[in-house]
Amino acid sequence: MCVIDTTDTPEAPTGVSGIAVADVTAPPSGALAVDLDGITKRFPGVVANKDLHLQVARGTIHAIVGENGAGKSTLMKILYGVQKPDEGTIRINGDEVSFSSPKDAIKAGVGMVFQHFMLADNLTVLENVVLGAEKLHGIGSKARDEIKRISDAYGLDVRPEMMVADLGVGARQRVEILKVLYRGAKILILDEPTAVLVPQEVDELFGNLKEMKSEGLTVLFISHKLDEVRGVADDITVIRRGTTIDRVKSSSVTSKQLAELMVGSQLPTPETQESTVTDRVVMQITDVTLADPAGGPALLSDLDLTIHAGEVLGIAGVEGNGQAELVETILGMRRADAGTVVVENDDITAWPTRRIRENGIGYIPEDRHRHALLLGAPLWENRMLGHQRQEPASKGWRLTPKAAKDDTQRIVEAYDVRTPSIDVTAGSLSGGNQQKLIFGREMSHAPRVLVAAHPTRGVDVGAQSAIWDHIKDARREGLAVLLISADLDELIGLSDTIRVILRGKLSGEFDPKTVTAEQLGAAMTGANTPENATTVDAQEEAAR
């Protein structure tokens, strides 16, 4: 197994684009809430952090950016006591500390909100917040008052009596934040907090973070969305291959300069694409209805959808409005109560999932840990997952591991999956690299249709544009893509047509060339009245 040593000499702090940036060795002005000095962390075959420095001034918002696998999450886990560094010192508010677990970090006033929320659906907000922290304010009215106090102080709008199951994604995230503040955190770490939010929710979150900052709290967050980072952070630390490359004032850099600092080379300017949409219908969904087993309103109502060869059809929507159900119905994981799903000449409505996937429907699921990977299995076994009965995983009844391994190696190279080898477990890859592996696997079977739910979630800007290029290339060859994404820039940039799903119903068509993120956001929340409707139909209607 080769060792990925991340120590390849980083360039001088001026960065690749020659921008004037702070000297990373000079401390920021003001007292330091966090001072990580010379942090090194090795995993078998990988040096995840190498002599890394991070200095965060108290009462500021600080963003950490870097490519997939650069070592951001590892560094944050070290700061939160989930992992122990092999070398280096951690100082919190000037005092050197050594954390053996998150408990120690919490005691020192450090809290973390992870990307995958950890709330119990069947409990109330109050119960979730006090769980494990009963000693602080009990479980009754004192605890409720404290939750209200924190909620009011930072504008979190968290109501203690609500059931978590009834909360949307943004509200759940605010409960997670409140949970951390309830435990006395003065330094808050957020791992990619905006990945799951719609634009309006992102604005709200950033409002909350600014409130926290004005009260003297310190916020650190990881993000791949460089425009957002620049909008809210005071300072940005750029990490490349495990090492600190720069610390910059967000007001002094452009997103392009940041991206170039991250990857260490200049990024090409994206070209505008000619439309490749043809008249040939590849996927036709007609009148699909899915009842709610719990007796509530239908999960999908009379849904019609047509995707042509060479077309990317984007679906925008606030999470929980039927996107998951639509995908699961297409993939045969749910049975529609009415309607049909036809791919070219095949009516796949009643087909089992395996047959659907083996017949040219590529699938990138929303939850890669639950539906796309075996985290404890090596990469090459994950390459076979869902395609066990097809080449290169097997021939006839015989498994062909050698061929699967060769193909995994090919995917690793073609999709730039950063890994020491194809024998490491999928669970040891960074999130973005896991996603690149899944994408590579699905594209390897030359699908007729690609059903992609958030294909670039957690993926860095360089890899994101590479994945978009792969989709565009395949589209040119006639691939039909159903793209579900919470990233409106991705939807607008990649789709030929956009539709919005709201409470299980699809809107008319939006033209991505003219629609704005704000207009989509309004349609997603149902704020789109007939007067300000922006769909193609409505525009034509208005013109008549």
Residue ranges that bind ligand ATP, judged by CB under 6 A: 43, 46, 48, 66, 68-74, 418, 428-433, 458, 460
- Least Å from the CB of residue 2 to ligand ATP: 12
> Are the C-beta atoms of residues 241 and 224 closer than 8 Å to each other?
no
The pair phi, psi for residue 170, each rounded to 5°, is -60, -45
Q: What residues form DSSP beta bridges with 35?
A: 55, 91
Q: What is the DSSP string of 395-413?
A: ETTEE-HHHHHHHHHHHHH
Nearer CB in complex with ligand ATP: 431/462: 431
- Least Å from the CB of residue 422 to ligand ATP: 13
Nearer CB in complex with ligand ATP: 118/131: 118
Strand order from edge to edge, sheet including 497-502: 361-364, 449-453, 480-484, 312-316, 497-502, 505-510
Nearer CB in complex with ligand ATP: 261/300: 261
Torsion of CA 132, 137, 138, 141, to 10 degrees: -130
Give the DSSP H or E segment for 277. none
- Least Å from the CB of residue 73 to ligand ATP: 3
- Least Å from the CB of residue 221 to ligand ATP: 12
Q: What residues form DSSP beta bridges with 506?
A: 501
> Are the C-beta atoms of residues 359 and 352 closer than 8 Å to each other?
no
- Least Å from the CB of residue 313 to ligand ATP: 28
Nearer CB in complex with ligand ATP: 459/523: 459
Nearer CB in complex with ligand ATP: 322/432: 432
Q: What residues form DSSP beta bridges with 499?
A: 315, 509
> How far is 510 from 103, CA to CA, in rounded Å?
49
- Least Å from the CB of residue 277 to ligand ATP: 33
Rounded alpha-carbon distances, angstroms, from residue 496 to 269, 310, 364, 448: 20, 9, 19, 17
Residue 207 Ramachandran class (φ > 0 left, ψ -120 to 50 alpha, else beta): alpha
Q: Which of 217, 115, 109 is nearest to 172 (CA)?
A: 115
- Least Å from the CB of residue 435 to ligand ATP: 8
- Least Å from the CB of residue 176 to ligand ATP: 18
